[in-house]
Amino acid sequence: MIRSIIGKTVIAILGLALTIPAGVSFYRSRRFREPVVLGPSVEKVTKLGDYFDGIRGTINDSNVYLLEGKEPGGSFLILGGTHPEEPAGRLAPWLIVENALVERGRIFVVLTANRSASTVTRPGGAYPPDFVIPTSWGAQKFRMGDRWSNPLDQWPDPEVYLHYPSSQQLAYMDIRNLNRTFPGRPNGTLTEKTGFALCELIRKEGIDVVIDLHEAELQYPVISVIVAHQKGLDLAALASMIISSDDGFAIGVEASPEALRGLSHREIGDHTRAVSLLLEAPEPFLDATRGRTNRELLLTGKDEFVVRAGKHGLLFEKIDEKGWPIDGRVGRHTATIKRIIEVWSESEPDKAVVLAGGVPGFKEVVGNGTGFYLHDPKSVPASRIVHE
């Protein structure tokens, strides 16, 4: 009897010894605040709840950054963090907010479209909770995230998820996947309300072009591409040709499938007047054949097991010992955004958006590193700092 009590006590103490540090880690990760230094063209920062009251005050009441030129023109919306487990999709628009010089038109930027998903990592995935980008002034820490909204914010998942308004049946957990719940609905789940709020932003601000930033595993066929709604196929095709010729990397074009519902490139194009595009860069960190899922893999994109999978013809993108480093992935996104803006402005001069500089291209990000374009929060007044 005494031995049984002692044994149970020891087990309870060991359990607490594991649970308490883990709980503290989860608590800190969920509440970690990432500083954003507002660049020269940021005129104001509003909230997603300003466009739809149903999201106001929730964890997904994300920041909306407005970069505006002195001359009127068109309007772009750049979405980062639709899937926060794809870090280049947040870092690329981060560089735009902190550096872009907008001469004409407006660029709206959401760095963390699904903020809830940025506060958790994939269960069983052994993801690091965060990662660090080195800079000349030190290092900047960023949250790692998941593909789905945090179960703490939206639970339980249904037995069957029927997309609204198409009623198409999708994977049950994708009711927490922002890129499967567009165009959203005002009386839906947190994730559906987030999609609805973003569509309200697009409608109320008269957005012309939406660019949603992502990364994909190399075993996924839609990779290294611009996925375009039919309204944007010509825009994407011309941008792709210029990039592949002049920018030091190749990017293809995929037409948004009309039969697959819930994705931003399909639903935003169907339910608003905006042209909707989605960019995919390669991220070996997400591949099923990967080795250790750690910060090194996240940043270097180097993995011997993914390389072996490529040698056996199991990948849809090439990889060698050089991997797919974060700088190249971020640079692909910034360069593609710049080209899309240029092509749009040439074809729609009355709705042009003109960048006077500041946004680095592919070669600049690869040559200088992502951290070169991040600014020290201590070097600016508190009024020019916002936290994600």
**Burial code of 59-79, b = ≥16 C-beta within 10 A, e = fewer?**
bbbbbbbbbbbeeebbbbbbb
- 151-171 confidence digits (pLDDT tens): 999 999 999 999 999 999 999
- Helix crossing, 190-205 with 264-271: angle to 10°? 50
- The pLDDT tens digits of the residues spanning 298-356 come to 999 999 999 999 999 999 999 999 999 999 999 999 999 999 999 999 999 999 999 99
* The two three-digit tokens of residue 135, written as one number: 């800079």
Strands (E), 203-249: 209-216, 225-228
- State the average pLDDT over residues 176-199: 98
Share of the chain above pLDDT 90, in %: 91
Domain borders along the chain are 32-387
Q: Strand, coil or helix: what is 345? A: helix
Closest by CA to 118, choosing from 140, 93, 144, is 144
How large is the average pLDDT for residues 219-224? 97
CATH class of 32-387: alpha beta
pLDDT of residue 26: 67
Contacts of 103 (CB under 8 A, 6+ apart): 69, 70, 71, 354, 355, 356
> How confident is the model over 97-102, as a mean pLDDT?
98
Residue 127, sorted as left (phi over 0), alpha (psi -120 to 50) or beta, turns out to be beta
Computed over every residue of the chain, the mean pLDDT equals 95
- Give the pLDDT score at 22: 61
Amino acid at 117: A
Q: β-strands 63-68, 169-170: how paired?
A: unpaired
Model pTM?
0.95
Examine the pLDDT at 25 and tell me if it is beyond 90.
Answer: no
Whether residue 282 is predicted with pLDDT greater than 80 in this model: the reply is: yes
d(CA 181, CA 160): 14
